[in-house]
Amino acid sequence: MKFKLQKKDSVLQGVVHLDGSKSISNRALMIRALSGKPFKIENLSTSDDTKAMESLIGQEFGVLDVGPAGTTFRFLTAYFATREGEQVLTGSERMKQRPIGALVDALRAIGADIEYLEKEGYPPLLIKAPRDLGTPSEIEVPATISSQFISALLMIAPTLPNGLKVRLAGNLVSASYLQMTLDMMRYFGVDYHFSGELIEVSHQAYEAIDFRVESDWSAASYHYALAALATEADLTLSGLFRESTQGDSATAELFSRLGLQTTWGEDSLRITKGGEIKSMLEHDFILCPDIAQTMAVVCGAMGVIGVFSGLETLSIKETDRIQALKNELAKVGVSFVKAPPHFSKKTGKTYYMVEGKASWNEPPSFPSYHDHRMAMAFAPLSVLHPIIIEDPKVVGKSYPDFWKDLVSLGWEIEMV
């Protein structure tokens, strides 16, 4: 299936209530299961990933298929590693290409019984009841692969007989997501100590406290992109907190450099045009990698030079997002390439550059690469001229109502 997207005018007006954050929702479900007590979770994400988490976390036996849900797979690996019963945890073909070895090694070190059923270091996994859980009580994990591995270990830590000390090896990626985990653990009554490279969590109980999930800043980034490309904009997004635990809340500041103003209400924000549009946007996305695709497309659409770093995790997401951006931006005359070596001399970071200004005659067709963020990052180009998005259903992974919300804002969507 393909969607042809077009908007007859380039004026953006309306109100959108964004779905709950998938990242926060999955952590809340994990903590509720670990607490062993019921409590209310409001504004839970309706994403496929969260639905998978909610339906699978209570199962004790059988083959559990998470599909393409990476966060769900990693959290459930840690959760089931501490439980009685036996599960085969599997997923989509892409999931079987995403490394899980560092998490499995750490869980085995504290007594988990996990076997690889196909390729060593990758899903699917056979998870059996643990043997001597919690011994030893200190482990070292690489911090350079995925913060989700560390978050998964930390959330089970208070339920282990001796708690857990997690020593981080190397430079931490996506630190904002790790802090989100720790903040939520503290909300539910769990204390921790984080000093230098060591995080210590003692044996203690989670408290059952009702919880409201903040709306999703990753989803908000696509609406900011729409506003940036519109000639006029007056858009209200509800459910977002000014003081947010989400790294993607950097969206508001980033788009302020592209001529957008954010005005805060009690539990909402208003996006309008105004302010200077910078000729270059430089940013380190290490704390907010999920909005890198959005910013790359918008920079290309506006003819703004983008200089991006902190993209280390993009190649192991739902697709190799760096290669996918190169492929698809090239269709509209925009390049996304590794920056010359002199950019890295002072910082040692790897930089990528967005150069050119998007233009096209016939509607370009953008494949989704089985990646929800590819579909939604490229959709805002339709403010300028019609485009085609392939496999549009993929947005269900994180934002099921994305196309519905576009229609409410004046888009025409035709199945082609």
- Catalytic amino acids? 290
Q: How far apart are CA 312 and CA 358, in angstroms?
A: 26
* Residue carrying structure tokens 């653990």: 185
Q: Which residue has the tokens 């599997």?
A: 90
CB atoms within 10 A of CB 90: 19
Judge whether 74 and 149 are in contact, CB under 8 Å: yes
CA distance linking residue 238 with residue 258, whole number of Å:
22
Instruction: Report the Cα 216 to chain-centroid distance in Å.
Output: 10
- Per-position b or e across 365-384, b if 16+ CB within 10 A of its CB: ebbbbbbbbbbbbbbbbbbb
| HSE-up (13 A, CA, CB side) for residue 241 | 11
203: nearest Cα among 167, 165, 166, 162: 162
3-class DSSP state of 84:
coil
DSSP bridge pairs for 41: 211
